[in-house]
Amino acid sequence: MTAPYSKLAACRLKGPGMTIRVYCQMADNTIQEYGVKDDGNWEKMSNLGSAMPGTDIACTVLKTSEPKIRVYFQHMEHGIIEKCYDSKHGWYDGAAKFPKVQPRTSIACTSYMTGSETVGIRVFFNAANMVLEMVYDGMSWTEGHFHADCIPGTQIACISWMNGSRPDVRVYFQAGHEISAITEYVWTQGRWSSGKLALPPA
């Protein structure tokens, strides 16, 4: 049974088979994957292991030639876990090493292709009322340049796309402008800048 406090994440794969995946937290606090086939039939799929009760969940599909999924959630020791899937290996633990953060932090992620098989990933999270990022450049994970104050308990959303040979990224959260307005930050041409400080209606 799904926990009443479960957060949700969903993604879609290209190709035949289980094209939609949904992730939730079960009553035993593990993260469960469900999938739907093209014929509309849903199935219980892989269990990704134990997590902090009420953890946020984020996922992204890498647009490589073979389907690849990344899922992020928080474990009981307050760190964020990366779970990876590809058709050859199934599910396995990722290499990302995140700092410990407060319980039930908000997590958001996005991915983009900087080459035919070169993937970029950004994961945003709230640490001590500051939104931070971890960045994967196709080779390794590093702490990103982004850091901005936010209000306690803010949710985070992000999106990305390729602009020529470089990615554009937008991230949204409540930074405290006009008390509780949503603020936009922009990554373009290799640097961060402020976007709209208070999305209307604030």
Give the residue from 52, 59, 40, 67 showing the smallest Cα distance to 3.
Answer: 52
User: pLDDT digit string (tens) for 116-171?
Assistant: 778 999 999 999 999 999 999 999 999 999 999 999 999 999 999 999 999 999 99
Predicted pLDDT at 176: 94
User: pLDDT digit string (tens) for 176-191?
Assistant: 999 999 999 999 999 9
d(CA 74, CA 96): 13
The CATH number assigned to the domain with range 106-201 reads: 2.40.128.190
SS3 114: coil
Radius of gyration of the chain (CA): 17
CA 43 to chain centre: 23
Predicted pLDDT at 191: 96
**Tokens 């993260």 belong to which residue?**
31
Of 5-9, 63-67, 68-72, 73-77, the poorest mean pLDDT is in: 63-67
Q: Spell out the domain ranges in the chain.
A: 1-100, 106-201
At position 120, the amino acid (one-letter code) is: G
In this prediction, residue 64 has a pLDDT band, given cuts at 50, 70 and 90, of: confident
- 12, 19 contact by CB (below 8 A): yes
Cα torsion for 150, 184, 54, 10, to the nearest 10°? -170
d(CA 184, CA 113): 23
The secondary structure of 59-89 as a DSSP string is: EEEE-SSS-EEEEEEE-TTS-EEEEEEETTT
